[in-house]
């Protein structure tokens, strides 16, 4: 039995039976039995079922958002936004069911055509930082392509995924199509990775566990999509609108209390603008409202766990230029923290996954690109500049999968999301995600007499 805590209060909010290997096997068997009928559902009916699920998520939006906030400690306004995105994801993939199709290719002596076939049973392993949102990014394309699914939520945050499985049944998805198995990574996660009947693993989490998922998947040549860690750069040039860049920067590091794979936790600032930017950034960071996640005005809540707080604490030394306030009573709180660093310091090299931003000065454009790329990761990042040509030049040169110019946003329902380098591979969201949940089958038909 796992006791699920509210990280803002350390109170137990639920007890969840931890699944065993046998439970995982039962879910895989249910998905196996449901697959033939699910893949055969007419595209318009599969789309209708996904639309119904989206509508139910919208109807239960406030309930799901409250549940997510209590389980993850994230501000209620963030949870509302994430749950709204979940509905949008299911609407998007409902619309994509009949727009992801094969082609005909000119060949000699006959006709050649391709089909997009589902993979079969897909195992989805998701983390605790955006539990229901990341689950939906994988469920949407997996179900739209005609796969059946076994989803393993993080042990710390199983509640919204479990509720989503109930809503899926209410929406009319047949039994066995979407199975949620709460349990630990080393038991349920590993079983999904190793089970011969599971065709693919969609994984989001740490690079370390991603590496072991990839190695484990080799045993059965499973397909894998890996969305792993990041150490993204927020590059601020002296010709940028410094007020706008500084006003936005805190939320790119302290959003979700820094527990975000896209966190722009390396803030690279051109030397000519460094002092002014630092002054503006400290002012903006001091205004971040930290406190009760259930309060509509709150912008940052606690960390997920005592372990996470301990890990984050180890990075918050060095030259601290700002440390904010956080509640001192119960809960896994950690204040917004800004440190000055070099790109060689652990705070700039490792994924802190907490509200700690590292400020690093640079000399010129080449220096900015060199520092931004001097990391094993390559997930996200931002470029702040007034020059359109520079924005494009730097965007082409920075080795990451997702970039924004004069903005710190990374994720949109209709656009591809995923990493370069050790941030993983495969793309989620948009039409691109469908590639990861289907196989291309090529059929040649001889038409000679």
Chain residues that interact with ligand NDP, rule: CB under 6 A: 125-129, 152, 154-155, 184-186, 189-190, 193, 204-206, 209, 212-213, 228-229, 261, 351, 353
Distance of alpha carbon 224 from alpha carbon 145, whole angstroms? 16
Helices (H), 359-438: 365-373, 388-397
Contact 1, 155 (CB under 8 A): no
For ligand NDP, the closer CB: 229 or 250: 229
In the complex, least distance from residue 219 CB atom to ligand NDP, rounded to whole angstroms: 13
For ligand NDP, the closer CB: 250 or 258: 258
Buried b (16+ CB within 10 A) or exposed e, 84-104: bbbbbbbbbbbebbeebeeee
* The pair of three-digit structure tokens given for residue 285, joined into one six-digit string: 């960071």
For ligand NDP, the closer CB: 129 or 148: 129
Distance of alpha carbon 130 from alpha carbon 259, whole angstroms? 9
Contact 315, 323 (CB under 8 A): no
In the complex, least distance from residue 104 CB atom to ligand NDP, rounded to whole angstroms: 39
Residue nearest to ligand NDP as judged by C-beta position:
185
Distance of alpha carbon 386 from alpha carbon 143, whole angstroms? 43
- β-strand pairing of 319-323 with 266-270: unpaired
Residue 344 a catalytic site member: no
Distance of alpha carbon 381 from alpha carbon 407, whole angstroms? 10
Q: Which one, of 169, 157, 153, lies nearest residue 202 by Cα?
A: 153
Whether the CA torsion 97, 93, 381, 304 is positive or negative: it is negative
List the catalytic residue out of 261, 262, 270, 336: 261
Residue 261 a catalytic site member: yes
Distances (CA, A) of 215 to 108, 224, 351: 41, 10, 22
Distance of alpha carbon 200 from alpha carbon 34, whole angstroms? 17
Radius of gyration of the chain (CA): 23
In the complex, least distance from residue 270 CB atom to ligand NDP, rounded to whole angstroms: 28
For ligand NDP, the closer CB: 128 or 333: 128
In the complex, least distance from residue 193 CB atom to ligand NDP, rounded to whole angstroms: 5
For ligand NDP, the closer CB: 151 or 371: 151
259 Cβ contact partners less than 8 Å away, ≥ 6 residues apart:
128, 129, 303, 304, 308, 353, 354
For ligand NDP, the closer CB: 176 or 205: 205
In the complex, least distance from residue 183 CB atom to ligand NDP, rounded to whole angstroms: 7
For ligand NDP, the closer CB: 201 or 236: 201
List the catalytic residue out of 227, 270, 351, 428: 227
In the complex, least distance from residue 311 CB atom to ligand NDP, rounded to whole angstroms: 6
In the complex, least distance from residue 18 CB atom to ligand NDP, rounded to whole angstroms: 9
**First-to-last CA distance in the chain?**
68
Count CB neighbours of 11 within 10 A.
12
Distance of alpha carbon 78 from alpha carbon 293, whole angstroms? 9
**Which residues are identified as catalytic?**
227, 261
């Amino acid at each position: 039995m796992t006791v699920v805590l509210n990280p803002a209060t350390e109170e137990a909010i639920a007890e969840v039976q931890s699944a065993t290997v046998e439970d995982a096997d039962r879910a895989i068997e249910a998905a196996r039995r449901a697959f033939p009928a699910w893949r055969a559902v007419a595209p318009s009916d599969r789309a209708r079922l996904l639309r119904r699920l989206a509508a139910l998520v919208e109807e239960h939006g406030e309930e799901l958002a409250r549940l997510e906030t209590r389980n993850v400690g994230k501000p209620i306004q963030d949870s509302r936004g994430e749950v709204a995105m979940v509905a949008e994801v299911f609407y998007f993939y409902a619309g994509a069911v009949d727009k992801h199709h094969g082609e005909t290719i000119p060949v000699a002596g006959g006709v050649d055509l391709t089909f997009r076939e589902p993979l079969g049973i897909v195992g989805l392993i998701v983390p605790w930082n955006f539990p229901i949102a990341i689950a939906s990014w994988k469920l949407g394309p997996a179900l739209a392509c005609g796969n059946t699914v076994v989803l393993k939520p993080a042990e710390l945050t199983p509640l919204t995924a479990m509720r989503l499985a109930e809503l899926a049944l209410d929406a009319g998805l047949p039994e066995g199509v979407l199975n949620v198995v709460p349990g630990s990574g080393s038991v349920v996660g590993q079983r999904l990775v190793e089970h011969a009947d599971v065709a693919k693993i969609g994984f989001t989490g740490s690079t370390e566990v991603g590496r072991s998922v990839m190695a484990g998947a080799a045993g059965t040549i499973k397909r894998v999509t890996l969305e792993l860690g990041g150490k993204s750069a927020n590059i601020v040039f002296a010709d940028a609108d410094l007020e706008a860049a500084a006003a936005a920067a805190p939320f790119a590091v302290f959003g979700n209390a820094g527990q975000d794979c896209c966190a722009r936790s390396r803030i690279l600032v051109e030397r000519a603008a460094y002092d002014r930017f630092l002054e503006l950034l400290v002012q903006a960071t001091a205004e971040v409202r930290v406190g009760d996640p259930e309060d509509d005005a709150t912008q940052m809540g606690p960390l997920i766990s005592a372990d996470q707080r301990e890990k984050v604490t180890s990075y918050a030394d060095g030259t601290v230029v700002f440390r904010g306030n956080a509640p001192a009573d119960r809960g896994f709180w950690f204040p917004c923290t800004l440190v000055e660093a070099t790109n060689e310091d652990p705070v700039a090299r490792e994924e802190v996954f907490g509200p700690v931003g590292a400020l690093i000065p640079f000399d010129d454009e080449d220096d900015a690109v060199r520092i931004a790329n001097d990391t094993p990761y390559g997930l996200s990042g931002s470029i702040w500049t007034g020059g359109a040509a520079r924005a494009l030049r730097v965007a082409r040169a920075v080795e990451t999968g997702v970039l924004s110019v004069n903005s710190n946003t990374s994720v949109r329902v209709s656009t591809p999301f995923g990493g370069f380098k050790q941030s993983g591979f495969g793309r989620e969201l948009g039409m691109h995600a469908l590639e990861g949940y289907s196989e291309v089958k090529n059929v040649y038909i001889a038409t000679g007499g």
